[in-house]
Homo-oligomer: A and B are copies of this chain.
């Protein structure tokens, strides 16, 4: 019974996600879904990314948060449209959340939408929101075993970012084990090593985004 209800939910979510995907295709907007644990650096990544990309490509952020506007406030100064979705306790965004956020954005004036999902390594990966790519962030202090322990996200992701690489030596992060585990889960997954604090890896991330924006606009 419980499973049936969940499947109905997932089916309804998938239908709405397909509608969102069609809108994004029509409007030639790239939408990237940032997923990670709390504190891996999703908002920090946006703080570093927005100044580097929003002059060239018209960018917006859909900000998912359980109940505060803290992350949205952190991003306000970058001058891009932000649609905040408070999930009222729910642990992930669904496609219906994105549909609501779209009503607050001018889709005719956008090339790129970042979705910052609720901080959670489990459920957000289960819900298609119509995005072009899921980007999985993990940070070195979380430990090298996270892909194996929370595999769905890493199977679904189009890109993984290993953040806080500057802390790796302080936390005994086993890079070799990390890459070996990831390869078994998703052999084709590209991983970018990054430090939002030092800026390391940001340029490669921007290139990754630009390439996909241009493909979408073809």
Give the segment of A25-33, A53-61, A102-110, A113-121 that binds chain B: A113-121
A96 to B126, CA, bound (A): 23
In whole Å, how far is A35's beta carbon from the nearest beta carbon of chain B? Answer: 12
Residue from A5, A38, A167 having most chain B Cβ neighbours under 10 A: A38
Contact of A143 among B39, B120, B122 (CB under 8 A): B39
Residues of B within 8 A of A37 (CB): 37-39, 119, 121, 142
Q: How many copies of the shown chain assemble into the complex? A: 2
Q: What is the chain B residue whose CB lies nearest that of A71?
A: B149
Q: What is the chain B residue whose CB lies nearest that of A39?
A: B142
Give the segment of A16-24, A62-70, A77-85, A206-214 that binds chain B: A62-70
B126 touches A122 (CB 8 A): no
A120 to B139, CA, bound (A): 15
A141 within 8 A of B: yes
Residues of B within 8 A of A138 (CB): 39
Given that A68-B149, A121-B120, A122-B91 are known contacts, is A141 also in contact with B39, CB under 8 Å in the complex? Answer: yes
A152 within 8 A of B: yes
19 contacts between A and B (CB under 8 A): A37-B37, A38-B121, A38-B149, A39-B138, A39-B141, A39-B142, A39-B146, A66-B122, A70-B149, A71-B149, A89-B152, A91-B120, A119-B122, A119-B150, A139-B141, A141-B167, A164-B171, A167-B167, A170-B170
Interface residues of A (CB under 8 A from B): 2, 5, 9, 37-40, 65-68, 70-71, 89-91, 118-123, 126, 138-139, 141-143, 145-146, 148-152, 164, 167, 170-171
